[in-house]
């Protein structure tokens, strides 16, 4: 039975009710379908524009907060590398679609998730490997959400402290990280998270609000001249810069779901192009504005540079806080389900609540232990996002597709660059984290 197998053997995402009814593994597939229905309405198939919205929501995320810091690390010329990263991630997204089409020959339900592609390319070891990487990525993203909440709430309400019995005082980022966890906790106990779909849709609005706030800050306070003497290019900061740029375009694990859900999945390439261009423009504009205003003093979260007490600061922070609160429960659902399956535990509500609470507590501890948003996002980008967004699509397509020699040479070149970014970026981000202790 499916409950006796490893959760890494089960697809993370299955895009429709028919697939759910056909599946023999109830628990993991049920949670996977919840995630899909939060993103997509698949009753009649998603239209072109709705697919654009869904994919833009997937691509656009908390990475927008760190792109000014990434630009400061790499210098102005790193914007060219940002464009290259965007183009590479677009191309690897297209490779995923090709793998979906190749695997669906004769059976449209054969490949519906990222681990399905892994199994098609490399067998069961491929499914397990990509499942493990994706679970690790989800966990670290959940940690980064809590760090984001703590940093921004501390900026919004500076000096807040709460006394505890025994004379211990909670203050600052640790206090707000714990408060955010308390607010999030009830949502992690829910099996039906459909209500969060409407809240998570404001992610795009939050990105636009942040950009507008930076324009407001530049006009009203600092001006746009702080980076006029900045380095044109910084080789030392390049690994961090590239890693954070890859974070901006993460989301490839959900691409198969968007592809399968579309009314006409032959339009996926156009949807991917439109979504990538729109998100890239917003990312680039935010990076340039933030760097022009704050220069080399820009922080890993650009919202931390905004002056306290200003209206635009409150707008930026409040809109930024909504997305992590809404998405945290969705992010850890596959993790909690995986633990249930691995332990072969009963599927009662108390068991589920205990497991989800334990996962939340562990992410709170991690967020308080490594409260460095920029460094953590750099680590996620270099080690996990590069693997999911670059290495795995290229390797899978080489195994699955019929590749022309010229294109194969290009894919190999992308693989070499991806491995270099992964190794150097991971080393740099880990060194930065360790050196802060």
Q: How far apart are CA 27 and CA 44, in angstroms?
A: 25
Whether the CB-CB separation of 381 and 244 falls below 8 Å is answered with: yes
Q: How far apart are CA 325 and CA 199, in angstroms?
A: 9
Whether the CB-CB separation of 387 and 133 falls below 8 Å is answered with: yes
The C-alpha angle with vertex 338 and arms to 247 and 63, in degrees rounded to 5, equals 10
Whether the CB-CB separation of 196 and 330 falls below 8 Å is answered with: yes
Query: What are the structural domains of the chain?
Result: 2-435 (1.20.1740.10)
The confidence score (pLDDT) of residue 272 equals 95
Residues 6 or more apart whose CB falls under 8 angstroms from that of 26 comprise 2, 3
Q: How far apart are CA 76 and CA 273, in angstroms?
A: 25
Residue 169's beta-bridge partner residues? 163
Residue by residue, DSSP assigns 34-85 as: HHHHHH---SS-B-HHHHHHHHHHHH-SGGGGTHHHHHHHH-TTHHHHHHHH
Residue 163's beta-bridge partner residues? 169
Whether the CB-CB separation of 38 and 200 falls below 8 Å is answered with: yes
The confidence score (pLDDT) of residue 213 equals 85
Task: Please name which of 82, 91, 119 lies closest in space to residue 8, comparing C-alpha atoms.
Answer: 119
User: Which token pair is 250?
Assistant: 């993460």
How far the first Cα of the chain sits from its last, in Å, is 47
What does each of the 437 residues of the chain score in pLDDT, given as a tens digit?
A: 444 444 444 444 444 444 444 444 444 444 444 444 444 444 456 778 877 877 887 787 777 888 999 999 999 999 999 999 999 999 999 999 999 888 765 555 678 778 889 889 999 999 889 888 888 887 888 888 888 888 888 878 888 888 777 777 788 888 888 999 998 888 787 664 444 445 456 667 777 887 888 888 888 876 777 666 667 888 888 888 888 898 888 778 778 878 887 888 889 999 999 999 999 999 999 999 889 888 888 888 888 888 877 888 888 888 778 777 767 876 787 788 778 777 765 556 788 788 889 999 999 988 888 766 666 666 776 778 888 899 999 999 999 878 899 999 999 999 999 898 888 878 877 777 777 66
SS3 annotation, 323-338: HHHHHHHHHHHHHHHH
Q: How far apart are CA 315 and CA 311, in angstroms?
A: 6
240 in the Ramachandran plot: left (φ > 0), alpha (ψ -120 to 50) or beta? alpha
The confidence score (pLDDT) of residue 344 equals 64
Tell me the whole-structure pTM to 2 decimals.
0.74
């Amino acid at each position: 039975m499916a409950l006796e197998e490893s959760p890494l053997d089960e697809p993370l995402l299955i895009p429709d009710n028919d697939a759910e009814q056909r599946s023999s593994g109830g628990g993991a597939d049920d949670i996977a379908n919840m995630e899909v229905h939060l993103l997509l309405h698949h009753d009649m198939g998603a239209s072109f524009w709705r697919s654009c919205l869904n994919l833009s929501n997937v691509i656009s995320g908390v990475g927008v907060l760190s792109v000014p810091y990434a630009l400061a690390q790499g210098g102005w010329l790193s914007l060219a590398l940002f464009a290259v990263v965007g183009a590479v991630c677009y191309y690897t997204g297209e490779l995923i679609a090709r793998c979906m089409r190749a695997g669906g020959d004769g059976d449209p339900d054969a490949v519906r998730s990222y681990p399905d592609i892994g199994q098609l390319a490399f067998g069961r070891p491929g499914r397990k490997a990509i499942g493990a990487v994706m679970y690790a990525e989800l966990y670290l993203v959940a940690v980064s959400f809590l760090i984001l909440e703590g940093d921004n709430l501390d900026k919004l309400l500076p000096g807040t402290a709460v006394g505890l019995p025994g004379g211990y005082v909670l203050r600052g980022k640790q206090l707000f990280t714990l408060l955010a966890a308390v607010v999030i906790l009830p949502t992690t106990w829910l099996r039906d998270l459909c209500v969060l779909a409407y809240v998570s849709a404001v992610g795009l609005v939050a990105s636009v609000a942040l950009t507008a706030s930076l324009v407001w800050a530049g006009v009203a306070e600092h001006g746009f001249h702080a980076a006029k003497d900045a380095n044109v290019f910084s080789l030392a900061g390049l690994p961090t810069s590239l890693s954070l740029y890859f974070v901006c375009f993460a989301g490839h694990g959900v691409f198969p779901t968007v592809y399968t859900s579309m009314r006409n999945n032959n339009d996926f390439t156009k949807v991917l192009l439109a979504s990538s261009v729109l998100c890239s423009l917003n990312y680039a504009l935010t990076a340039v504005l933030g760097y022009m205003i704050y220069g080399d003093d820009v922080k890993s979260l650009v919202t931390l540079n905004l002056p306290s007490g200003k209206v635009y600061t409150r707008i930026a922070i409040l809109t930024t806080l909504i997305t992590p609160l809404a998405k945290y429960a969705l992010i850890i659902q596959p993790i909690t389900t995986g633990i249930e399956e691995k332990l072969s535990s009963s599927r009662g509500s108390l068991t589920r609540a205990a497991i989800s609470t334990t996962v939340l507590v562990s992410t709170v501890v991690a967020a308080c232990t490594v409260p460095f948003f920029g460094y953590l996002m750099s680590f996620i980008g270099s080690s996990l996002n590069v693997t999911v967004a670059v290495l795995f699509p290229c390797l899978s397509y080489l195994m699955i597709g019929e590749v022309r020699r010229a294109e194969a040479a290009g894919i190999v070149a992308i693989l070499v660059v991806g491995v270099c970014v992964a190794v150097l970026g991971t080393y740099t981000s880990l060194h930065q984290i360790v050196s802060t202790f």
